[in-house]
Amino acid sequence: MIDQIPVIDFSNFDTNPKEVAANVLNACKTIGFFYIINHGLPKDQIDHSFELAKEFFDLSSEEKHKYLIQEDNHGYSELYQETVLEDSINNHVMKKKTSLDPENQKQGDHKEGFNFRNFINGKPYAPLPPIFEKEQSFIEEFSRACHGTAMRILQAFAIALEIPEEEGGAKWFSDRHTYDRQSGEVLRFLKYPRGGESTYKETVRAGAHSDYGSITLLFQKDVPGLEVKASRTEWISAPLIENSILVNVGDQLQEWTNGLFKSTLHRVTFLPEHAHVDRYSMPVFIHPEDDTLLSPIPSSIVPPPSESTQGVAKSGEIITAGEHLRRRLNATYKY
């Protein structure tokens, strides 16, 4: 493991893709997290998305209750994504989830969130609240731009793994992540309200978890707090880096690469000096299309499967990304 999250400059990706891909591979094999800078996503789009998030979370709790997921004992991300899938609703606010992680079981995750699933053929997955409806074309544009950035990262993966041209080459992963096909992909607005510690007496705001999909892009703003489990014993912080996007590998990609890429535990904590400010973040959870088979990657760099890297598929079994997500969500109940 390395003890710092690397920063990778994507401005060289078009001119020198191999070098960028090598840096990306190194990060994925070790800590499973890296920042990208010069990623090409316009700053004003990111800023405006944060403004919209704030505008929404500033609504009265009565208004937000229309989109509330009821509190219960299941883990935050699990319940959240599961509710999204099972209720076929793409937008929810939720608060104070109780984490299943033993380290965090004492207190709830004190936060609110709102999910946007992909705007397939220009349509929101479910009706949007008015405050977002009037900005629908902007939000769709931002969601598609994030997806486009993610596709460049997936191309770097395919280059790093030396997937042969005749198998699909640099497009091998991105061809399996079409924006307009059904997938688990979600753009999420998150708010961690100030003052949670007085209720929970703990500084952990989002319990330790790994993400489920292929990769996550994370936009942080003003207030740091994300921590990454760099080793069995050590949490390191993921500081704010101006104009960067933090990228991490999810469980599906870890399993797809037979453990070559690492899906690393992370959590959100508040330092005392941040106890009196609200924290906003925006993760974008990238998933393959639901019917993508998680079949062996045509790469001599990816190791053969082994018991320890198996995850939710049985030995030798090839499942789709949609089935993988479903099993991963169901597994929540067995903890």
Ligand X SMILES: O=C(O)CCC(=O)C(=O)O
Q: Where does this chain bind ligand X (CB under 6 A)?
A: 77, 190, 206, 211, 218, 220, 226, 266, 268, 281, 283
- Distance, first Cα to last Cα, the chain: 27
Q: Which does 228 bind (CB under 5 to 8 A by kind): ligand X, Fe ion, none?
A: none
Comparing CB distances to ligand X, the nearer of 21 and 79 is 79
Binding site for Fe ion (CB under 5 A): 211
Q: Which does 27 bind (CB under 5 to 8 A by kind): Fe ion, ligand X, none?
A: none
Residues 6+ away with beta carbon under 8 Å from 90: 84, 115, 116, 117, 124, 125, 126, 186
Comparing CB distances to ligand X, the nearer of 281 and 299 is 281
Q: Which does 294 bind (CB under 5 to 8 A by kind): Fe ion, ligand X, none?
A: none
Hunting for tokens 């993966």 — which residue is that? 157
Q: How far is the CB of 113 from Fe ion (least distance, A)?
A: 11
State the chain's maximal CA–CA distance in angstroms: 59
Comparing CB distances to ligand X, the nearer of 39 and 266 is 266
Q: How far is the CB of 224 from ligand X (least distance, A)?
A: 9
Q: How far is the CB of 133 from ligand X (least distance, A)?
A: 24
Q: How far is the CB of 37 from ligand X (least distance, A)?
A: 18
Q: How far is the CB of 29 from ligand X (least distance, A)?
A: 21
Comparing CB distances to Fe ion, the nearer of 246 and 321 is 246
Q: Which does 281 bind (CB under 5 to 8 A by kind): ligand X, Fe ion, none?
A: ligand X
Comparing CB distances to ligand X, the nearer of 28 and 302 is 28
Cα–Cα distance measured from residue 73 to residue 104, given in angstroms and rounded to the nearest whole number: 12
Closest residue to ligand X: CB criterion: 281
Comparing CB distances to ligand X, the nearer of 20 and 110 is 110
